[in-house]
Amino acid sequence: MKNIEMMEMKVKITLEEEMLGSSPSNPDIHDRYIASLAPDALKRSEEVAAMGVESVVEDGMTIFPKQDGKPFIWDYQIKGFFKDSCGSLRKVTGSESEKIKAFKKEIDGLIFVKERRIPIVFTGKMAECQRPLRAETPQGPRVAIASSETVPAGSTIEFTIQMMRDYRKVVTEWLDYGALRGLGQWRNSGKGRFTWEEI
């Protein structure tokens, strides 16, 4: 990799709406499913440990992983946001995203987030958001209550995007889309909407 120059963008995101945690609070669920997707055993155990002892209090709640009691998001959550944004924006005529054919493969292989854990900086307290989940099942309509840990509007996160070729225009488009789409759970309701700046 000595001959390849990585391009970098240092980004600061400011939440315009509260953001909901998306990690299951039950470490067994996290270990069996989400952490099992981690590429190696070290990262898997790191993710399970970040769930914390307090996470067993309520199995159905989604939470933020924590380090020293402070919430953060994982690098792959930003990449997931990029994939989600690109997948939607590819359908918009004239967008930069429209030009990327195998977008998931390109984002996975050529665009990276330098920091593994991305701290969420905020003042005040974390809160909780409860909302109904409706589903049509073979037994008829069902309603359940979903509960998530939240960080408030005004919270910030900073991270570095590394690119193996010039993706600045398309990354900028995805980040701009965050004002509409947001990060975290329940994005379709406007939760996790944000503005950003390059720092």
Q: What is the residue-wise DSSP string for 44-64?
A: HHHHHHTT-GGGGS-TTEEE-
CA distance 139 to 13: 43
Structure tokens at 93: 């005529």
Cβ neighbours of residue 196 under 8 Å, at least 6 residues apart?
11, 12, 13, 14, 175, 176, 178
How many CB atoms sit inside 10 A of residue 38's CB?
16
What was the pLDDT predicted at 137?
82
What was the pLDDT predicted at 36?
53
The residues of the chain scoring below 50 in pLDDT are 29-30, 33-34, 52-59
Query: Is residue 61 a contact partner of residue 51, using CB atoms and an 8 Å limit?
Result: no
pLDDT in tens, 147-177: 899 999 999 999 999 999 999 999 999 999 9
What are the sequence ranges of the domains in the chain? Answer: 7-21+64-198
What was the pLDDT predicted at 98?
96
What was the pLDDT predicted at 135?
77
What was the pLDDT predicted at 33?
47
Q: Per CATH, is 7-21+64-198 categorized as 3.30.70?
A: yes
| DSSP H/E element including 152 | none
Angle of helix 75-89 relative to helix 103-110, nearest 10 degrees? 150
